[in-house]
Amino acid sequence: MASKKKINASANNILASLAALVILAAITAIIAIKSQDTRFGTSATAAGNGAPSGPHYNLNIIGVPKGKSADMIGSSGRRIFVALVGTCKINLSQGTFQVLDGNCTDNGQSAFQLPNPDPAGSGTTVYSVWARALGKPGGSSTTTTCATDPLTGEEWCSIYQMVSVRSKGKSTFTNVSKELLYIFADINGDGMTERYGLFDSALEDYFWSYSNSGLKLLQLRFYQVPTAVI
């Protein structure tokens, strides 16, 4: 009888250990899923600067006190020069990530190419964009995504804007996919705000309206991770 009790006790201990391992694995999986989903505001591989770690496309929007003489058309650089104080129209076109015109100080316009962020129109992006303000503290900028109604010629801008402020101390990245990759507007006049992803056929001539108030550097990073936009 004593040996049977020992065997039963050992079996119970083994089962208890297995159950504990299963529960631990389930909890770990849930945490991993949540941390990878940008809807929870974090990434499983998030770096100390607030953005995910891993491959990304980097775009710098640089505020300068004097205009640049070069046109920078077809520039291979990953930067756009804008006036330190003023407005820049960054025209957007569909394709692989690339700066098409890196000088916005000559005529107030530049050009940037990027993929369709939501080709299915589902409200969940196939890539996401993070932003942070750098440079001397005190500067700020406001970026608004806009486009034109092809039927009326009316220009529409999203009700959501990306406001970037260079405060003192460490600057961290923020997910700005909602502000930069979509337009939220009541275009059909039904009293409801509709969501339009970049390059949605309902609109055309998409662009970012960049209003700078002394911000010397806005850094944008594009990662191949999804964001659910509400």
Same domain, 124 and 199: yes
Same domain, 156 and 195: yes
Same domain, 55 and 92: yes
Q: Which residues pair with 129 in a beta bridge?
A: 222
What is the model's pLDDT at position 50?
82
Residue-range definition of the domain harbouring residue 2: 1-36
Residue 84: inside a domain: yes
What is the model's pLDDT at position 75?
61
Residue 228: inside a domain: no
| Per-residue pLDDT tens over the stretch 56-101 | 999 999 999 988 877 677 766 899 999 999 999 999 999 999 999 9
Residue 229: inside a domain: no
DSSP H/E element including 160: strand 155-165
- For residues 30 and 8, the model is more confident at 8
Same domain, 20 and 134: no
Q: For the chain, how many structural domains are there in total?
A: 2
Same domain, 194 and 120: yes
Same domain, 9 and 111: no
What is the model's pLDDT at position 168?
87
Q: pLDDT band for position 27 (50/70/90)?
A: very low
Residue 41: inside a domain: no
Same domain, 19 and 98: no
Same domain, 12 and 61: no
Residue 6: inside a domain: yes
Same domain, 31 and 84: no
Query: Please, what's the b/e burial string for 151-165 (b: 16 or more CB within 10 A of its CB; e: otherwise)?
Result: eeeeebbbebbbebe
Tell whether the model's pLDDT for residue 15 goes beyond 80: no
Tell whether the model's pLDDT for residue 40 goes beyond 80: no
| Per-residue pLDDT tens over the stretch 126-144 | 999 999 999 889 899 999 9
Same domain, 163 and 61: yes
d(CA 163, CA 182): 15
Same domain, 172 and 118: yes
Same domain, 191 and 115: yes
Q: Please tell me the pTM assigned to this model.
A: 0.77
What is the model's pLDDT at position 84?
96
